[in-house]
Amino acid sequence: MTEPLLEVRDLKVYFPVFSGFVQRLLGGGDARVHAVDGVTFSIAEGEVFGLVGESGCGKSTIAKTLVGLVRATSGRLLFRGEDVTRPDPKTLFRLRERIQLIYQDAHAALSPAMTVGEAIADVLRTHGLPGPSGNRVQTKSEDAIREAVYRTFDDVGLRPPAFYYNKYPDELSGGQKQRVVAARVLALRPQLIVADEPVAMLDMSVRARMLEFLMELKAKYHLTYLFITHDLATAKFMCDRIGIMYLGRIVEMGRASTIYADPKHPYTKALLEAIPIPDPERKTKKILPRGEVPNAVWPPAGCRFHPRCPAVLASCGWEGRDVIALLEERWLSPELAEREALAGPVKEWEADGLIARRQMGKTDPGPVYDLIRRILLESGGPMAGAVRKVSIEGTVVVVEFRPPDLLVPKEAEGRVVECLLY
Ligand SMILES: Nc1ncnc2c1ncn2[C@@H]1O[C@H](COP(=O)(O)OP(=O)(O)O)[C@@H](O)[C@H]1O
Ligand code: SF4
Ligand SMILES: [Mg+2]
């Protein structure tokens, strides 16, 4: 095996939360956004590796960490075996030549006050011209720089280059701007391109062409891509291997063809079943099981997908707030709501880790105890199976769950899955 071009080992990136409200809500606990929470993958030279997942699962944070825009909280990043987790300014400068980021928003990536030709000339003045053996040659010759910009424009299909050199970003289409961004990236002769949703903001009509263009560049310049997208169809077209992300973790990873043919993780299955039909006239809405993506400040216990998982087991991570979610769900049904009014209102229930409790004050806790037991039993299934005990402690009704089973990524039929079913 050759050494991977990039290795990411157990990367964690947490952001501070400055909202007093959230702090209070969590009782001053670990109020940090767990944007990336233990992610491991590697990319071989010449490969296209995809990170795929819904908005907010941590894809862009990984991208930004790789180019030094965000600091890793812990974990390691290795580029050609060299530790670049916390680069000093000199290492970072060199790293930025070798790893380049293409953003979703080409417009924001370009200065409106500078012609696109000048934007690239500027990069070449700072980093030098690419030399014959991958080295960089500093030059004061403006002619040589302009020549090099023309060559790069020609490479990315902005022809004739002299015509585009003096254009401002505002005068170009979305596709042309994304090509300028590609030109600026290529001017540095990078080895790894991190493309963060590069076509998401382009018109449908030019997306496919842009993806093909990225593949042409890859072949021509022997590039390696980390390709980030929320769109499974795009990932299928682009990627050799993919990692499916959910709330800061990779839940399934392997060859794209293997995963598309036979997804194993319930989340991957749900995503694949929700692939929108590629018909621009028809707006298909992605339907995922139960509920919204939970908050990354306080990720669900055990498997983070458990509140939405159609295959969930008793050991997957049931906790106090799932009781509150269950009550909320039941109260949406008028018939149940009436019968179960006694258990509520929901805001009187409090979740604390594995425990849900309701302070009854002067009211007799007995009937509420009976009712919550019945609700849990009736709801049946895995959640009820996870209850350790329901009890009355003084004036408080308490529901307590057993701790979840340990969840670790496992090999299963040619890919890695993080799910207790395997
Ligand atoms: N600078 C930041 N400060 C606080 N939270 C952040 C910051 N950047 C991203 N986040 C949060 O981290 C999580 C992951 O975000 P992001 O990496 O942008 O996801 P994606 O690119 O998959 O949509 C989200 O909950 C987002 O709100
Ligand atoms: S561990 Fe597997 S079965 Fe359990 S909730 Fe997660 S995805 Fe579903
Ligand atoms: Mg993003």
List pLDDT tens digits, range 50-92. 999 999 999 999 999 999 999 999 999 999 999 999 989 998 8
Q: Count of alpha carbons within 13 Å of 278, Cβ hemisphere only?
A: 8
Token pair of 359 as six digits: 């302070």
Of the listed ligands, the closest to the CA of 310 is: 2
Alpha carbon nearest to ligand 2 atom 5, residue: 306
Go through the chain and tell me how many residues it has.
422
Angle, CA of 96, 101 and 106, to the nearest 5°: 130
Where would I find the H helices in 289-380?
320-330, 334-339, 365-379
N-term to C-term CA, the chain: 27
- 267 and 379 fall within a common domain: no
> Can you tell me which residue has the tokens 């169809």?
233
Residue nearest to atom 17 of ligand 1 (CA): 58
Judge if the beta carbon of residue 306 lies within 6 A of ligand 2.
yes
Residue among 341, 383, 340, 342 nearest 365 (CA)? 342
| Residue given tokens 């983070």 in the structure block | 304
Q: How many domains does the chain fold into?
A: 2
Q: How far is the CA of 80 from the centre of ligand 1 (A)?
A: 27
Q: CA nearest 200: which of 158, 157, 249, 235?
A: 235
136 found inside a domain: no
Is residue 165 within 8 Å of residue 115, measured between CB atoms? yes
The verdict on 273 and 418 lying in the same domain is yes
- Is residue 169 in contact with ligand 1, taking CB distance under 6 Å? no
Alpha carbon nearest to ligand 2 atom 6, residue = 303
Identify whether residues 265 and 332 lie together within a single domain.
no
261 shares a domain with 211: yes
Question: What are 247-299's pLDDT values in tens digits?
Answer: 999 999 999 999 999 999 999 999 998 754 343 333 333 334 444 556 788 89
Q: Is 97 inside a domain boundary?
A: yes
Let me know whether 273 and 378 are in one domain.
Answer: no
Nearest CA to ligand 1 atom 10: 35
- 169 within some domain: no
Q: Answer whether 303 contacts ligand 2 (Cβ < 6 A).
A: yes
pLDDT at 286: 37
In a domain, residue 363? The reply is yes
What is the pTM assigned to this prediction?
0.90
CB-ligand 1 contact for 35 (6 Å cutoff): yes
Same domain, yes or no: 255 and 378: no
State the distance from the centre of ligand 3 to the C-alpha of 221, rounded, in angstroms: 26
Residue 62 alpha carbon, nearest atom of ligand 1: 17
193 with 336, same domain: the answer is no
Asked, as a colleague might, if the bond just before 160 is cis with ω within 30 of 0, I would say yes
Query: What is the CATH number for 249?
Result: 3.40.50.300
Q: Which atom number of ligand 1 is nearest to the Cα of residue 70?
A: 1
Kindly identify the ligand whose nearest atom is closest to the C-alpha of 62.
Answer: 1
| pLDDT confidence of residue 61 | 97
Answer whether residue 343 is part of any domain: yes
Structural domain containing residue 41 = 1-107+189-301+406-422
> What does pLDDT average to in each consecutive run of 10 residues of the chain (422 residues)?
89 83 56 93 97 94 95 96 92 90 88 96 91 81 94 93 96 93 90 94 87 93 95 95 97 98 95 59 39 72 93 96 88 78 80 94 93 89 94 96 96 97 96
Say yes or no: CB of residue 33 within 6 Å of ligand 1: yes
Regarding the beta carbon of 312 and ligand 2, being less than 6 Å apart is answered yes
Distance 194 CA to ligand 3 centre (A): 12
Q: Are residues 66 and 194 in the same domain?
A: yes
Closest residue by CA, ligand 2 atom 8: 312
Q: Is residue 239 located within the same domain as residue 386? A: no
Q: Please give the number of the atom of ligand 1 that sits closest to the Cα of 63.
A: 17
Name every residue whose Cβ is closer than 8 Å to that of residue 392 and which is 6 or more positions away in sequence.
Answer: 365, 366, 369, 398
* Tokens 């606990």 found at: 29
The response to whether residue 58 sits with its C-beta less than 6 Å from ligand 1 reads yes
332 in a structural domain: yes
Please check whether residue 152 lies inside any domain of the structure: no
Q: Say yes or no: CB of residue 230 within 6 Å of ligand 1.
A: no
Check pocket membership of 248 for ligand 1, CB cut-off 6 A.
no
User: Is ligand 1 within 6 A of the CB of residue 296?
Assistant: yes
Q: What is the pLDDT of residue 99?
A: 95
Q: How many CA atoms are closer than 13 Å to the CA of 237, on its beta-carbon side?
A: 16
The reply to whether ligand 1 has any atom less than 6 angstroms from the CB of 73 is no
